[in-house]
Amino acid sequence: MKIVVIGSGYVGTTLAALLATLDHQIIALDTDSQKVSIINSGKSPFYEEGLSELIKHSIVQGNLSATQDYGSAITNADLIFSCVGTPDKPDGSSDLGYIYEVAKSCAKYIKKGVIFVQKSTVPTGTGEKVSALLPDTCHYISNPEFLREGTAIIDSLLTDRVVVGGKNKQAVQKVIELHKQTLDNTEKITTITGIQLPDKAPEYKTNFVATNLESAELIKVSANAFLALKISFANSIAKLCDETGANITEVMDGVGSDHRIGRAFLNAGRGYGGGCFPKDVSGLIASSLEYGVDMPIMTAVTEVNQSMPGYIINKAGECCSGFVDKKVTVLGLTFKAGTSDTRRSPAIEIANRLSKLGAIVNAYDPEADDEAKNELEPNITIRPTLQASLKDAQIIFIATNWPEFTIENIQQVTKDKVVIVDCMNSLDSLAVRTAGFDYIGVGTK
Ligand code: UGA
């Protein structure tokens, strides 16, 4: 098959690279000339474990190429995946401009009987409107993506479910089959990338869910909204722990060991960020309102999340008698470890707030891209190494839980007594105190 994957972000690039390991011809289509040339040179346009290796392999094999040219790519396509961004507008609703643009651009060249698969996260009800822009002979399918940045390849291979929604049963089945082929190719993919799957991987069962279009769209948005809700729930309980002496990790270990609840996404800290949760929650609130449905539960989730950077800074500020002229190091700028992405990162917000409160802020992140610099207050200095960032620090905020931010690594550079503010509860408080530092966590003494 000739498959075109439109959009070379996290979802599109990972999908294109995985499909290219099968016996199909894959074209990655993007309007950004820089991304196109990076892919054609055998690399990933962003940091993601194993992705450059996978792209290099398929470029050398001749199964993958990238282009900016819609005409040449779409004219011969049997199957098209649309994986473009759906950023949020200032009012919180989803901007579907790219989604419609892609459909209109494809409509000019698309062959009869082509399957058009929407992978982008869209509000429920969008598919009907997009398919109206495509020729009647085209089969429109919703196949939302559930991978996470930083673990994109593993998540694609060990996925809990593949959701495929659409009117045409054969088209739905064809997309399911393509996913099954990719999963059957796991050994080849792990060999090329060197990615180690967990020991239990062979027992992993993927649920293939065939639904109607609207359900598929809503499954994706609801799943992200529910995960965001779990995080804000844990953060609300963490605030109560701070007042009572309960320990949030112990509480969530106990709560999460009920299999009906589950332990995942109950880690308290500085809150969620990134290109997905914040916009998907606000998009769900906005699109529900369009149907006359109020979602106060999700409004509360957003409010709790937005309160967390300020909450942690206040807690630390009380212990440190404020931040004016204090030398503060912020470790981690990305929205989570394992990615170079700083979009909506609570770590950036923490650094900026500290700077506005009068602190002299140094920052370090092992992977944050150049965008981080533009988002930071101008007087914050990004240091090239952990060691350089920690020099003379009086207070250290661990704002993203990168594995290198261990107490041993910090101790090697920081000899004086400093305060460690563990914004994601990633360190052992006892070990930190034993090493001679003061410790401040979230929902923990
Ligand atoms: C999220 C979903 O997890 C994916 O399933 C989904 O496909 C993706 O959005 C998407 O819609 O494209 P992602 O944004 O890459 O993936 O990152 P997550 O690992 O889910 O983390 C999101 C944020 O929540 C991070 O800032 C993380 O630090 C925070 N988080 C996560 C917590 O604060 N506590 C937790 O317990 C878990």
The residue nearest atom 36 of ligand 1, judged by CA position, is: 265
Of 381, 420, 386, give the one whose Cα is nearest residue 403.
386
Give CA–CA dist 445/441, Å, rounded: 7
Ligand 1: centre distance to CA 22 (Å): 29
Mean pLDDT of 203-227: 96
Copy the structure tokens of residue 383: 């240091």
The residue nearest atom 22 of ligand 1, judged by CA position, is: 272
Q: pLDDT tier at 202 (50, 70, 90 boundaries)? A: confident
Q: Where are the beta strands (DSSP E) in 351-416?
A: 360-364, 381-382, 395-398
Write phi, then psi, for 362 (nearest 5 degrees): -110, 145
Ligand 1: centre distance to CA 121 (Å): 14
Write phi, then psi, for 255 (nearest 5 degrees): -65, -45
Please give the pLDDT value at position 59. Answer: 97
Burial class (CB in 10 A: 0-12, 13-18, 19+), 272: buried
Mutate to test the pocket of ligand 1, among 15, 148, 158 (most ligand atoms within 8 A of CB): 148
Give CA–CA dist 177/97, Å, rounded: 30
CB atoms within 10 A of CB 321: 8
Give CA–CA dist 361/392, Å, rounded: 11
Alpha-carbon distances, residue 415 vs 246, 384, 385, 398, 419 (angstroms): 31, 20, 17, 17, 12
Ligand 1: centre distance to CA 277 (Å): 7
β-pair type (327-331, 395-398): parallel
β-pair type (139-142, 64-67): unpaired
Of 142, 171, 20, give the one whose Cα is nearest residue 81.
142
Active-site residue 423, yes or no?
Answer: no
- Position 334 pLDDT exceeds 90: yes
Report the pocket of ligand 1 as residue ranges, CB < 6 Å: 121, 145-149, 224, 227, 231, 265-267, 269, 271-274, 276-277, 335-336
Please give the pLDDT value at position 370. Answer: 78
Residues forming a β-bridge with 330: 363, 397
Give CA–CA dist 7/83, Å, rounded: 5
Tell me the HSE value of 306 on the side-chain side, using a 13 A CA sphere: 10
Mean pLDDT of 437-442: 97
Give CA–CA dist 162/44, Å, rounded: 24
Please give the pLDDT value at position 201. Answer: 84
Question: How confident is the prediction for the chain on average, in pLDDT?
Answer: 96
Structure confidence by residue, pLDDT tens digits, 140-186: 999 999 999 889 999 999 999 999 999 999 999 999 999 999 999 99
Q: Which helix (H) or strand (E) holds 282?
A: helix 277-290
Of 12, 60, 65, give the one whose Cα is nearest residue 36.
65
Of 270, 302, 291, give the one whose Cα is nearest residue 92.
302
CB atoms within 10 A of CB 291: 9
Structure confidence by residue, pLDDT tens digits, 359-400: 999 999 999 877 899 999 999 999 999 999 999 999 999 999
Copy the structure tokens of residue 324: 């004016």
Distance of CA 40 to the CA centre of its chain: 25
Give CA–CA dist 397/27, Å, rounded: 43
Mutate to test the pocket of ligand 1, among 122, 142, 153, 227 (most ligand atoms within 8 A of CB): 227
The residue nearest atom 26 of ligand 1, judged by CA position, is: 272
Amino acid at 399: A
Ligand 1: centre distance to CA 77 (Å): 33
Please give the pLDDT value at position 47. Answer: 86
Which one-letter DSSP state was computed for residue 202? G
Please give the pLDDT value at position 313. Answer: 98
Q: 0.85 cut: is pTM over it? A: yes
The residue nearest atom 3 of ligand 1, judged by CA position, is: 148
- Position 416 pLDDT exceeds 80: no
Copy the structure tokens of residue 424: 């994601």
The residue nearest atom 24 of ligand 1, judged by CA position, is: 272
Please give the pLDDT value at position 378. Answer: 96
Q: Which atom of ligand 1 is nearest to the CA of 271?
A: 33
Ligand 1: centre distance to CA 389 (Å): 27
* Active-site hit among 138, 276, 320, 423: 276
β-pair type (161-166, 139-142): antiparallel
Q: pLDDT tier at 20 (50, 70, 90 boundaries)? A: very high
Ligand 1: centre distance to CA 8 (Å): 20
Amino acid at 365: D
Distance of CA 314 to the CA centre of its chain: 27
Please give the pLDDT value at position 103. Answer: 97
Q: Assess contact for 331 and 405: CB atoms under 8 A.
A: yes
Mean pLDDT of 14-25: 95
Mean pLDDT of 80-101: 94
Q: pLDDT tier at 34 (50, 70, 90 boundaries)? A: very high
Structure confidence by residue, pLDDT tens digits, 38-60: 999 999 998 899 999 999 999 99
Q: pLDDT tier at 415 (50, 70, 90 boundaries)? A: confident
- Position 294 pLDDT exceeds 80: yes
Q: Assess contact for 350 and 365: CB atoms under 8 A.
A: no
Q: Assess contact for 146 and 160: CB atoms under 8 A.
A: yes
Which one-letter DSSP state was computed for residue 149? T
Which residue did the predictor score with more confidence, 254 or 199? 254
Mutate to test the pocket of ligand 1, among 248, 276, 339 (most ligand atoms within 8 A of CB): 276
β-pair type (327-331, 360-364): parallel
SS (H, E, C) 164-207: EEECCHHHHHHHHHHHHHHHHCHHHHHHHHCCCCCCCHHHCCCE
Q: Assess contact for 437 and 420: CB atoms under 8 A.
A: yes
Give CA–CA dist 22/26, Å, rounded: 9
